Amino acid sequence: MRQHLRNVLARAEDMELVCEYRSAEEAFPAITEQELDVVISDIGLPGTNGIDLLKKLRPFMPHTQFMVFTVHDDDLRVFEALKAGANGYMLKSSTPIALLEGVRELITGGAPMSASVARRLVDHLRPHPTTATSEHNALTPREHEVLDMLSQGMLYKEIAAREGISISTVKQHIHSIYKKLHVGSKEEALEKYKGR
C-alpha cells in the first residue's frame, strides 16, 4: 500500500512525498521534526494503530492536516478517527484521482471523505422518526458504543479491552441496553439498533 501511495503521489506535480514510515513506532517522534502539510495514515498499522498515532501527533503538529486512508468504514472507527483529529477519511477503494483530490481539498480547508463514509455520517446525524427513536435516545453514549461494538461481532472481553472496563461492567451496560430497548436478547437488541 505504501508503494501504491508512493506511485500515486509521484504522479502529482503539485505534491512531494517528504517521508514515509512502516509503523506508528517508527513514525513517532521522527515525523514531528518534519514541516508537513498533510499526513496520510492507515488505521490498521502493526503495533500502535493509526488512531492512537493521530492522538499522539496532533498536539505536536497543530497546523498539519491528517487524512485516514483505510479499509475500515464502520461507524466506530470513523468517529474515533475524527475525534482523534483526522481532517479527512478516505477508503482504500478510492481511485488514485479521488485520493489526490482529497489531499488537495485538505490543503484548501476541506474535509474529504469517501462517499460511503460521508453517507454514514449523514445517516448518523439525521433523526430517525420511528417508534424506537425515544428508546435509542434513552441510551447513554457508552451504551451506544457498546451496542455498536456488539453489532460488529465483538466479544464481551474485546469490548472490555477496547473500553478499558471489566467484563462485568460490559454485562451491566448490556443489561441496561436490553431494559431500555425492551428486548431480551442480543439479536433483538441488534435488530432494533439496525432499524433505528
Q: Give pLDDT tens digits for 4-39.
A: 899 999 999 999 999 999 999 999 999 999 999 999
Q: What is the DSSP-derived secondary structure letter of residue 22?
A: S
| Residue 132, pLDDT above cutoff 60 | no
Question: CA 69 to CA 177: how far, in whole Å?
Answer: 33
pLDDT score recorded for residue 196: 57
Question: Which three cell numbers, joined as nine digits, stand for 132?
Answer: 424506537
Domains of the chain: 2-123 (3.40.50.2300), 130-194 (1.10.10.10)
Neighbours of 101 (CB within 10 A): 15
Q: Residue 128: which residues within 8 A CB-CB, separation 6 or more?
A: 136, 196
Residue with cell 498515532: 53
**Predicted pLDDT at 129:** 52
**Which pTM does this prediction carry?**
0.64
Cell of 108: 484548501
As given in the structure block, the three cell numbers for residue 23 are: 509503523
